[in-house]
Amino acid sequence: MATEKTSLSFLERNKPYIDDLKHTLFLFRKSKLTMVGFILIVIFLLVAFFGPLFAPYDPIEQNFPARLQGPSREHLFGTDQFGRDIFSRVIHGSRMALWIIFLVSAISGILGTTVGIIAGYFGGLIDDIIMRITDMFLAFPSLVLAMAFAAMMGPNFTNTIIAISLVNWTTYARLARAEAMKVKEQPYIEAIRSVGAGTGRILFLHVLPMCVSPVIVQLTLRMGTIILTAAGLGFLGLGVQPPTPEWGAMVSVGRNFLVDQWWISTFPGFAIVFVVLGFNLLGDGIRDMLDPRLRR
């Protein structure tokens, strides 16, 4: 039997998986908007990774003679009030945005999942207490709460990350809790307990893997929102501080010059729209592609 199996070629052995993948690709190609989102995100990632290598100017160094110039061949997006090249600053800003997305997703995802599975698995009083805490977080609009945290802790990069993570983890906690409650009723959990597995082992080996997939889908769906919140904080002066290139802060600075020098606000604004739109289109597309009810 075993030899029979290995004699099959790799493609034949994995046929069901490959067919499944083909179907996913088919769904992907059928949905134009998902492709658009995908392309936008790929561009965003490429710019974030490699853009700074090609950025024509230093994003921080000031050059007063060239201040407030409109878009031209030397300065594609023009320059700001200190003569810095906006094109270079937007490119460097993409790195900042990517960092924020990555850190916030990691922190709030891990925190939310851990708290959620503990609440769901133990239930009772622990569950009640944790869920009432998440209710408190969910009772405020997320931007307002993030502003409050950022203002309280003082505006800088670390605190921006902490503030956005703190308003985001509740969503993942609720998702993970719902999954954990479902999983703990499964007969195999009782079977595993009866052969001597302790609580920690059950939680992390058997409950956790079942809870991460909805959390991951939700994480990708919320990446656009994270950027928007970060840009919002930056715009209000509660996020990453100048001179670090951050899109929200750049839009905010440009407001003073909006009438005569429209490019200072507009290009960073476009960058935000571009990325948020990309994440939202891609997120919706992924959700539809993975939805078993919409498949075959």
Contact 206, 192 (CB under 8 A): yes
Contact 170, 143 (CB under 8 A): no
Contact 149, 233 (CB under 8 A): no
Q: How many CA atoms lie within 13 A of 245 on its CB side?
A: 32
Nearest distance from C-beta of residue 199 to another protein, angstroms: 8
Contact 197, 168 (CB under 8 A): no
Q: Which of residues 205 and 273 has its CB atom nearest to another protein in the complex?
A: 205
| DSSP secondary structure of 272-284 | HHHHHHHHHHHHH
Nearest distance from C-beta of residue 129 to another protein, angstroms: 17
Residue ranges binding another protein (CB under 8 A):
1-2, 123-124, 186-188, 190-198, 201, 205-206, 209-210
Q: Which of residues 158 and 186 has its CB atom nearest to another protein in the complex?
A: 186
Nearest distance from C-beta of residue 205 to another protein, angstroms: 7
Q: Which of residues 12 and 190 has its CB atom nearest to another protein in the complex?
A: 190
137 in helix, strand or coil?
helix
**Of 47, 9, 24, nearest in space to 271 by CA:** 47
Q: Which of residues 127 and 246 has its CB atom nearest to another protein in the complex?
A: 127
| DSSP secondary structure of 252-265 | HHHGGGTTT-THHH
Virtual torsion, Cα 193, 197, 199, 201, nearest 10 deg: -130
Nearest distance from C-beta of residue 5 to another protein, angstroms: 8
C-alpha–C-alpha distance, residues 207 and 175, integer Å: 13
Contact 137, 167 (CB under 8 A): yes
Nearest distance from C-beta of residue 105 to another protein, angstroms: 23
Nearest distance from C-beta of residue 214 to another protein, angstroms: 15
Q: Which of residues 85 and 179 has its CB atom nearest to another protein in the complex?
A: 179
Q: Which of residues 1 and 259 has its CB atom nearest to another protein in the complex?
A: 1
Q: Which of residues 40 and 207 has its CB atom nearest to another protein in the complex?
A: 207
Nearest distance from C-beta of residue 190 to another protein, angstroms: 6
Write down how long the chain is: 296
